[in-house]
Amino acid sequence: MTQLIEDLRWRYSTKKFDPTKTISDADFKVLMEVIALVPSSNGLQPYKFMVVENPEIRKKLREKSWNQSQVTDASHLVVMCAYIQLNEWHIDEFITLNQVVRAAEPEKLVGFSMHLKNSIISKPLEEMTANNENQVYIALGHLLHAAAQMRIDSSPMEGFQKEAYDEILGLKEKNLKSVVVCALGYRSDEDAYQHQKKVRKNTDDLFEWVV
């Protein structure tokens, strides 16, 4: 068994975190760096991540999350958000970033910029938002994976009231919407779920070969 598989087997969706244990700044910095490296559609990174430290706000969010204790007890609570709408400004910002990082020929980027504007901004809003949300889930995949490698526990959560989260965190005004929450920290010894066997389909059920 490779280390990689061992890491993923170690992971489980933590239901009860030890509230006394905190992820070090150095470790959380690595996780942020992981998130920054995640690939996204056209490279646009159409998302933002709110790290909620304020205990009062965490309490309010917990009330909107079926009272799940992870929301208040985990070391770090990351509300993963997608941009509702990508506009010309986002594309221009991205093109500028390309120019700076790659010292790219401006001419080449004009075409790229036009292509992005044509193909993205013209999309119906709902489709655009859904695409951005999908990218958030790629980031979630990397985050869960990286945390497991670092022996940091995680609890991805879709069971929360999104509109209430958006309201509490003032997301709509920022052109953002909450997509999925990831609580990160260290499992409590009392969390019985850590001892349960993983329930997974076998690869024969998951893969089909087109020969």
Give residues in contact with a second copy (CB under 8 A): 2, 4-5, 8-9, 11, 13, 29-30, 32-39, 41, 43, 45, 47-54, 57, 94, 97-98, 101-102, 130-131, 133-135, 137-146, 149-150, 156, 158, 169, 180, 196-203, 206-211
Q: Which is nearer to a second copy, 86 or 139 (CB)?
A: 139
Contact 140/148 with Cβ under 8 angstroms? no
Q: Rounded to 5 degrees, what are φ and ψ at 166?
A: -60, -40
Neighbours of 70 (CB within 10 A): 24
In 129-173, at which residue ranges do the beta strands (DSSP E only) sit?
A: 153-157
Q: Which is nearer to a second copy, 31 or 186 (CB)?
A: 31
Contact 25/16 with Cβ under 8 angstroms? no
Minimal distance, residue 14 CB to a second copy, in Å: 11
Minimal distance, residue 209 CB to a second copy, in Å: 5
Minimal distance, residue 20 CB to a second copy, in Å: 20
Q: Which is nearer to a second copy, 21 or 58 (CB)?
A: 58
Q: Which residues, including other chains, have CB under 8 Å from residue 132's CB and lie 6 or more apart? A: 46, 47, 82, 83, 84, 86
Minimal distance, residue 12 CB to a second copy, in Å: 8
Helices 88-102 & 106-116 angle (0-180, nearest 10): 150
Q: Which is nearer to a second copy, 8 or 164 (CB)?
A: 8
Q: Which is nearer to a second copy, 125 or 130 (CB)?
A: 130
Instruction: Report d(CA 205, CA 96) in Å as an integer.
Output: 45
